Amino acid sequence: MVLGFSIALIVFSLLLMLLVLMHKGKGGGLSDMFGGGMQSSVGGSSVAERNLDRITIVVGLCWFACIIVLGMLMKSNS
């Protein structure tokens, strides 16, 4: 069980790094390569950027949950 959560933590960590790098920064980001740079000048963020925000939040919460579960499993094993 610990091995499964450890693998999930590694996968979520890599995915979270990729998603954070895809976000648009001050000068643009990797999200521009995937169509995230087509914002309207009216204001607000594009649909792609909002969806990227949502996906990043969900992956971050899963990453955090894996850390909590791993901590509880390690504590119960010792």
Host domain of residue 14: 1-22+46-78
Q: Is residue 51 included in any domain, yes or no?
A: yes
Taken as a whole, the chain contains a residue count of 78
Q: Is residue 70 included in any domain, yes or no?
A: yes
Q: Is residue 55 included in any domain, yes or no?
A: yes
Long-range contacts made by residues 72-78, C-beta under 8 angstroms, separation at least 24? 73/1, 73/2, 73/5, 74/2, 77/2
Q: Is residue 39 included in any domain, yes or no?
A: no
Q: What is the mean pLDDT of residues 21-47?
A: 64
Q: Is residue 53 included in any domain, yes or no?
A: yes
Q: Is residue 36 included in any domain, yes or no?
A: no
Q: What is the pLDDT of residue 38?
A: 56
Q: Is residue 77 included in any domain, yes or no?
A: yes
Q: State the total domains in the chain.
A: 1
Q: What is the pLDDT of residue 78?
A: 78
Alpha carbons 14 and 25: distance in angstroms, whole number: 19
Are the beta carbons of 34 and 48 closer than 8 angstroms? yes
- pLDDT tens string 17-30: 999 999 877 655 56
- Three-state secondary structure call for residue 29: coil
pTM score, two decimals? 0.74
Q: Is residue 34 included in any domain, yes or no?
A: no
